[in-house]
Amino acid sequence: MKKNDYIENIFAWEEEFDFYYPVKVRFSETDMFGHLNNTIPFIYFEEARIEYFKSIGLMKDWVSPEKETIIVVADLQCDFAKQVFFDEKLNIYVKANSIGNSSVDIHYMAKRENGGICFTGRGTIVQISKETGKGFPWTDEMKQSFQKKINVSV
């Protein structure tokens, strides 16, 4: 079995998050076991990630048909700490943990309003060319946008 090895020190890791986006568990997102279905956190991750990208001035280009790049998910994972239930309000925290040439490692943390962590996650996002499907390097400006939110003490 594997552990969430992307978290070295949970206290330090938690502190590095600035941005969050609130979600509320929809009825249609529960399953017959009476709780949030395990596939839904990835929907929350995508929603919060996009809001994070918007908050740092990105995203616009990727949804514009005229532009030459989109972003894709290269890998994605979620660690479930607690069962989540209908109508719960969660804040989905997002941060850029490290930046590659054309990729960025995004970390996620879902917290109840009372502060309890329900699930965490991470995943690599890659900017690719629509034409070639290959990685398309970030501009320096983009890197700086991510940097603003990155814990520089590491």
Binding site for a copy of itself (CB under 8 A): 1-2, 4-6, 26-28, 30-35, 37-39, 42-43, 46-47, 50, 63, 70, 72-80, 83, 86-87, 98, 100, 103, 105, 122, 124, 133
Token pair for 125: 């996002």
Structure tokens, 91: 């804040």
CA–CA distance, 64 with 135 (Å, rounded to integer): 18
Shortest reach from residue 31's CB to a copy of itself, in Å: 5
* Strands 117-129 and 69-80, sheet pairing: antiparallel
CB of 74 vs a copy of itself, minimal distance in Å: 6
CB nearer to a copy of itself: pick between 17 and 119: 119
Specify the residue, 18 or 86, whose C-beta has the smaller distance to a copy of itself. Answer: 86
Residue 3 or 114 with smaller CB distance to a copy of itself: 3
Q: How far apart are CA 2 and CA 40, in angstroms?
A: 21
Cα separation, 69 vs 130, in Å, equals 5
The rounded distance, in Å, linking the Cα atoms of 105 and 150 is 11
Least distance in angstroms from the C-beta of 1 to a copy of itself: 5
6 vs 112 by CB, closer to a copy of itself: 6
CB of 15 to a copy of itself, least distance (A): 21
Min CB(110)–a copy of itself separation in Å: 14
90: left (phi over 0), alpha (psi -120 to 50) or beta: beta
Nearer to a copy of itself, 14 or 46 (CB): 46
What is the distance in angstroms between the CA of the first residue and the CA of the last residue of the chain? 27
Token couple for 152: 């520089």
